[in-house]
Amino acid sequence: MKPFFFEEKPYGIFRAGLSLDGYNAVMRGSRRQTIVVSGVLFLIGIVVFTLLALNQTFEVVNKSYTEIRSFTTAVLESMETGVVAVDSQGRVTVLNQAAHQILKVNSSVLLRPYDEVFPDDPLRLKELLSGKETGGEFETEILGSTVSVSISPLYDSEEKVSGGTALLRDVTAIRKMEQEMKQSERLSLLGDTAASVAHEVRNPLNAISMAAQRLEEEYAVKEGMESAKNFSRILRQEVKRLDGIVSQFLSLARPSELNLQKSDLNRLVTETVALAEGEAGPLSVEINALLGDIPELMLDPDELKKAVINILRNGMEAAGKGGSVSLSTRVDGDMVALRIEDTGKGMSKEKMRKVFQPYFTTKERGTGLGLSIAQRVVADHGGRIDVDSTPGKGTVFTIWLNVPPFEGSV
């Protein structure tokens, strides 16, 4: 508002002004927008902060999960016990390295149906999932090995079966050692009575043999006594056979003192084959020898020859008419292998387990001591005998002997 004049005299007052209603409205709208934008920005900040926190938490959890999974995998792979797990749908979810070796499968079986990979259900996991099995331990034969299996079900939060696990241990070597210990105990008991029994048996055998020889000499000068002389001859032969059984019994029961010396195994095999060829002829059995380049060994030639001839005779009798027995030698690492293979009928797994047990035989007139003696002789040399046989395809005996570090050898 401002006064104005006319010819130097006041005339009136002039009032001029601008309305602020629009301005104030704009300002009020601007404040509201500012508040809304601030709120939105605040909410966006909270969301961004939450996302960052969640992302960081996820990374921490993921890292922890990865570390736990890596640790669990490392533990499973380093275990000597095989681990197999299946889920509720019967898919293989876990199979560690030890299980690969025992079951002879690879990682490609993971997530495949268990009954497709193992149709015979050797681990009984299919029965476990179906409720026929409730868990427990048992031993079974898997691919020629004795395996101890422990199975147990897995439960979910509702106590329903959600899968199953199997723990596997190859106990073949343990069971073999137990058998050897039992056999050693049996031989120890035999050794306590062997000498006295042999003495008591051989004395009357010698008397019978001398009486039979005397009778044969007396009948020789008389006519018409051919049948009596034949009986006397048979009597002497059976006495000789019984004396051989007593000798085998003593050889098995008494610990032998080896006369070890540098020996050529190939030469020993050649001499043994020459001895056996006289018996092979009437049996129509062919003997073949393929001898490799092997070093000298510390052996007792007489004792080891006894072991080889026992296995060779066993092979000739198993091969039968028209069959054959093959012998071969080779170096395998720090050991020499003597392989004796026949073309006989072979043996079942059950017979293979018993083949070295004293008095076990499948022959009508066998004593069951020959292979036991062979095993004892080879064991005295610090070696071992392996046997592998398939019904209808023959049997293979392999004698393993250590190569000694002779003086001056590198």
DSSP letters spanning 168-230:
EEE-HHHHHHHHHHHHHHHHHHHHHHHHHHHHHHHHHHHHHHHHHHHHHHHHTTSTT-HHHHH
Are the C-beta atoms of residues 344 and 355 closer than 8 Å to each other?
no
Starting at the edge strand that comes first in sequence, how are the strands of the sheet with 145-155 ordered? Answer: 92-95, 82-87, 161-170, 145-155, 136-142
Are the C-beta atoms of residues 145 and 170 closer than 8 Å to each other?
yes
Model confidence pLDDT, tens digit, residues 314-353? 899 888 888 999 999 999 989 999 999 999 888 888 888 8
Q: How confident is the model at residue 2 (pLDDT cuts 50, 70, 90)?
A: low
> Is residue 361 classed as helix, strand or coil in its secondary structure?
coil
Q: How confident is the model at residue 74 (pLDDT cuts 50, 70, 90)?
A: low
Q: How far is CA 237 from the centre of its chain?
A: 47
Model confidence pLDDT, tens digit, residues 352-406? 888 887 777 776 666 677 888 888 889 888 899 999 998 888 999 999 999 887 5
DSSP class of residue 107 equals: G
pTM: 0.53
Cβ neighbours of 401 (radius 10 Å): 21
In b/e form, how buried is each residue of 331-343, taking b as 16+ CB within 10 angstroms?
eeeeebbbbbbbb
Model confidence pLDDT, tens digit, residues 113-171? 998 988 989 999 988 888 888 888 999 988 888 999 999 998 888 888 889 999 999 98
Under CATH, which number does the domain 79-170 receive? 3.30.450.20
> Is residue 70 classed as helix, strand or coil in its secondary structure?
helix
Residue type, 171: V
Under CATH, which number does the domain 261-402 receive? 3.30.565.10
> Is residue 359 classed as helix, strand or coil in its secondary structure?
coil
